[in-house]
Amino acid sequence: MFAAVYVDGVTADLSEDAPEFLSVEYSADSCYRCRACGEALVETTDGMCTDSGEVLCPDFEPPDGPGPDSDLTDGPHDPERVPLSWCNSAAVHADESEDSVTVSISVGDPRGAFTFTVRRVPDDVDSDLAGQLVMHVPYVGEICAHMPLTALHSGTYVIGSPYAARIAV
């Protein structure tokens, strides 16, 4: 079997002819950053601040603009979620011995992952499914699930508790 790996559309050099496992790991230092200044933000009991403890944003702009007599130059940071900060890693595992491909996506707890597997049922199996492709996906109530799932509609799930308290951002 021939396999090629592409990174941003460019073929990547491989140490083997056909790798079985590819992984991308994310190292999000912060889940939030300031929309105005771009600094990484951490949540504290007093609100959001930079790693150095700065609660005022040097690029703050009042929503209605500064008044004519205003000397207001600093204000609170405007937090926004950092894209993909929820993802620990994503991986693809092609297993010739099982005739399967598994995609793993880790969110929340980095020790596990949701897995989606497509495999071919062997041709020599005495079944109507012989030779067919079968897809295994996470589901509500799965034993030892990576994280709890709540069905939103058929084939779509909310990960974690859909009623968890949200951070006011």
Question: In this predicted model, what pLDDT tens digit does every residue of 102-156 receive, in sequence order?
Answer: 999 999 888 889 999 999 999 999 999 999 999 999 989 888 889 999 988 898 9
Q: Which of 130, 111, 108 is nearest to 121 (CA)?
A: 130
More confident residue, 64 or 58: 58
157 is a domain residue:
no
How many domains, the chain?
2
| Structural domain contains residue 47 | yes
* Full residue range of the structural domain in which residue 43 is found: 32-81
Both 115 and 46 in one domain: the answer is no
Mean pLDDT in residue range 92-98: 91
- Taking the C-alpha atoms of residue 74 and residue 50, their distance in angstroms, rounded to an integer, is 14
128 with 93, same domain: the answer is yes
Q: Does the residue 112 lie in any domain?
A: yes
Residue 162 belongs to some domain of the structure: no
What token pair was written down for 53? 């403890």
CB 106 within 8 A of CB 100: no
Exposure of 158 by Cβ count < 10 A (0-12 exposed, 13-18 middle, 19+ buried)? middle
As a whole number of angstroms, the distance between CA 54 and CA 44 comes to 11
Mean pLDDT of the chain: 83
Residue 169: per-residue pLDDT: 43
Are residue 36 and residue 115 in the same domain, yes or no? Answer: no
* DSSP SS3 for 12: coil
Determine whether 80 is exposed, middle or buried from the number of CB atoms within 10 Å of its CB (0-12, 13-18, 19+). Answer: middle
